[in-house]
Structure 1
Amino acid sequence: MSFVRLFPARVVRQEWARRTVSSLAESVDESGIDLYGVSIDPAAYEESPVALYVYRQTSGHASYVGIVCDVSVQALADGRVRGHEAVHQQRVDALVWHHQQTSHGTPALVSLLHRAGEVYTRILEAVQQQPPLLDFPGPSGWQQTVWRLPVGDETSALTDELTAADFYIADGHHRVAAALEEWALAGKPDDATVLCQIHPMDGLGLSSFHRRVSGPLDPEGLLGLVSADFDLLEVSRAAVPSSGSMGLYVDHRWFEVTYDGARERGVAGLDVTLLQSRILDRVTAVASSGRVPVVDAVPATADVDALTARCDVDGGALFTLAPPSYEAIIEVADADEVMPPKATYFEPKPCTGIFLRP
């Protein structure tokens, strides 16, 4: 049986889309809280037959497109869909509780990556030449465009090809973990699914999370801690992180930070892991105030100047990181290892509110 499936949905109407569709960061499934408590207006949606959908987000010259489909929870459990990041159990529990209280809602899509096959590539290229079902400006200026793929031979060929592929979670590790817990509580039903968007392996923008350490810290103490395992090079401008090299801002100065030991394979050798185990786990020792410093994971898309300004105010520090490569992500997932939480950041996030579960 195919574990990539067509699904029934209610789809937002074109005239309601701009008022109804929101960014994933505003959804309950992403934030854990309902920021607005707005009830869903049935008039904003229309019934749609069982289908797949092509969903594209465009901003300027950047365009990201994938297939929206149901994926069997069984595939999440047996390793055909593999993740690479650890999850916070408290957040998973909050999602499970919320879903138990909600009989319907606007599901947050899980973003998956795969090595795209011939059928997938051909269909995406052909469909985007046709008039869309929806086309509207969405949150943050991203144009949202949707096409429907109805039941038919081409759609069947696509689901067969996708079912034979391996998938890697790009965004949605907590939602996947919650779906697995809900599935187990329900007795592992065969028809349980998660709504996903499937992209080509390089079909999303990949960046990282930086680490901002609250102050006050002893700058020389921190530099001494870092230099125990890393080479430090002071630079005159913001250090640009790359694979194998991090940036450090402390005491109004920038440094390039490079690990001076032999790197292990897999998770143990990643910059984010070395930073955590060799520096952040020990940073309390260089806190000036005696308080435990707070370490925040900040998307690399954030304004670095604003982050360094915060360090100047409280005497903290900023570590900037480059993302791991796609090859490293696959290696970690295939080895059944997990990176620390907030190791990768994929964008754009799929919006919520386009599809409603019936």
Structure 2
Amino acid sequence: MDAAALVTPPYVAGPLRLEPFPALMLTPARVGHPSTGRAFARPYKDVSARLVRWEARGLVTADTEPALYIHEYSSNGMTVRGLVGALDVSRRAARAEDRAVLPHEGIHPTQADELADRMDEMQLNPAPILLVHQGTPGLREVLAEAARREPDRAFADRGGQEHRVWAIRSPATHAAIAAELADSRALIADGHHRYAAYLRLQRRRVGEPDGPRPTDLGLAMLVDQGDTPLFLGPIHRTLTGTSLDDLRDAAETLGLDYHEEGQAEAVHALSSARLAATDGKRWAGVSLRVEEDEAAVEVLHRRILPALPHGPAAIAYHHTVDEALGRARPDSIAVLMPAPSVDLVHRIAEADRLLPEKATSFQPKPSLGVLIRSLRDAAPARP
């Protein structure tokens, strides 16, 4: 899709609220299984019935009463703990200071509409969006206390992740969590289009009879970045139809330092104010003039790319250096990017700016199927 079609998703108004819901949980043998994703594929209207059949076969467990859930998962030596609940998306922020959820990337409206249609047909939120925030000491203590008992579920999935899940059912604990979250602002780490789909589903139901609606909520995992942080990595680019000479010309036009050097020197010098680029044979570093609270990826997309004399005819995105280098050619250069800090991304979002598409990669993400939310049995939001 054309990047010009990107728009800012609406802002949800505070207070930030995660509501209890009765979770659907796949059996450990299905979590992380290659076939699990296909269970949520076309025809989407058959997905709910498919899960009912799986439940009859013992492949799905349905919780009998609403809960908030602590989900702790470990992958490649990293452990992340998140609070999973149904995010209240029923109110829109009229002022910047009212915002409770902060997107940092734009969305394609058509893609968000398609996701909303799928969730409507499935009557499910199949996976939580990932949110990050700085938890209060009080919230950390409440969650630590809940996690001191034995987990309700503990298993290793087929993809190698290890999981522990605690269900929190006490109304008093729910109230304590709500009080600690009330003044929080959460940054969307993963799931911008699903977040936008939640908002579209909520708006579609506004004209229906009064009362809480399941679509007033959307499944989310809230991670305390100060406790068990997600890792924020870069997403590298290849620019098709662009050469290193084009990059040099753009840098000279902008008054930026372009210096050809060896691979080791270029990669070693990669920083928040310096890019590395290669055509597979030659290597270069480009020093950037980065403004305060500006990310390197913004400089690349908003200043360097428009100054290129040729291309890019297309931009491809890569989560690893090896993937990017594998696409490098004399007429298709790989650009290695530094990762912005989480604090910088949060400041950019607070300033009501969006980063270019595919600017961040928060890792690790939890396997699909640990906690699913049905729209048929969802608990309504509190008044």
- Is 1:118 aligned with 2:156? no
In structure 2, C-alpha distance between the alignment counterparts of 1:126 and 1:83, rounded to whole Å? 31
Match of 2:274 among 232, 239, 245: 245
Superposed displacement of residue 95, structure 1: 0.8
2:326 aligns with 309
In structure 1, C-alpha distance between the alignment counterparts of 2:140 and 2:147, rounded to whole Å? 11
2:337 aligns with 321
- Is 1:84 aligned with 2:89? no
TM-score of the superposed pair, with normalisation by structure 2: 0.78
* 1:247–1:319 CA contact under 8 A, matched in 2: yes
Superposed displacement of residue 35, structure 1: 10
1:93 aligns with 113
Mapping 1:166-315, distance limit 5 Å: 166-187=185-206, 191=213, 192-202=216-226, 203-215=229-241, 217-229=242-254, 230-238=256-264, 239-240=267-268, 241-259=270-288, 261=289, 263-266=290-293, 269-283=294-308, 285-286=309-310, 293-299=313-319, 302=320, 304-312=321-329, 315=331
2:5 aligns with none
Query: Secondary structure, in 3 states, of the residue corresponding to 2:272?
Result: coil
Mapping 1:121-160, distance limit 5 Å: 121-138=140-157, 140-160=159-179
Mapping 1:7-86, distance limit 5 Å: 7-12=20-25, 16-21=27-32, 26=37, 34=42, 39-40=50-51, 41-43=54-56, 44-74=60-90, 77=93, 79-86=99-106
* 2:132–2:222 CA contact under 8 A, matched in 1: yes
> Which stretch of the first structure deviates more once superposed, 79-88 or 230-239?
230-239
Query: Secondary structure, in 3 states, of the residue corresponding to 1:159?
Result: helix
**The structure with more strand, counted as a fraction of residues:** 1
Provide structure 1 residue ranges, at least 5 long, that are not aligned to the other structure: none
User: Aligned residues, how many?
Assistant: 337
Q: Deviations over 1:134-159 (max 9, x none)?
A: 22223542212211111242332112
* 2:32–2:159 CA contact under 8 A, matched in 1: no
Query: Are the structure 2 counterparts of residues 218 and 329 from structure 1 closer, same or farther at C-alpha, using a change threshold of 3 Å?
Result: closer
TM-score of the superposed pair, with normalisation by structure 1: 0.83
Q: What amino acid is the match of 1:7?
A: P
Superposed displacement of residue 165, structure 1: 1.6
| Percent of pairs with identical residues | 24
Query: Secondary structure, in 3 states, of the residue corresponding to 2:21?
Result: strand
In structure 2, C-alpha distance between the alignment counterparts of 1:96 and 1:231, rounded to whole Å? 46
Query: Secondary structure, in 3 states, of the residue corresponding to 1:8?
Result: coil
Query: Secondary structure, in 3 states, of the residue corresponding to 2:68?
Result: strand
Query: Secondary structure, in 3 states, of the residue corresponding to 1:74?
Result: coil
The CA RMSD measured in Å over matched residues stands at 2.9
Q: What amino acid is the match of 2:328?
A: C
Provide structure 2 residue ranges, at least 5 long, that are not aligned to the other structure: 1-13, 378-383
* 1:86–1:338 CA contact under 8 A, matched in 2: yes
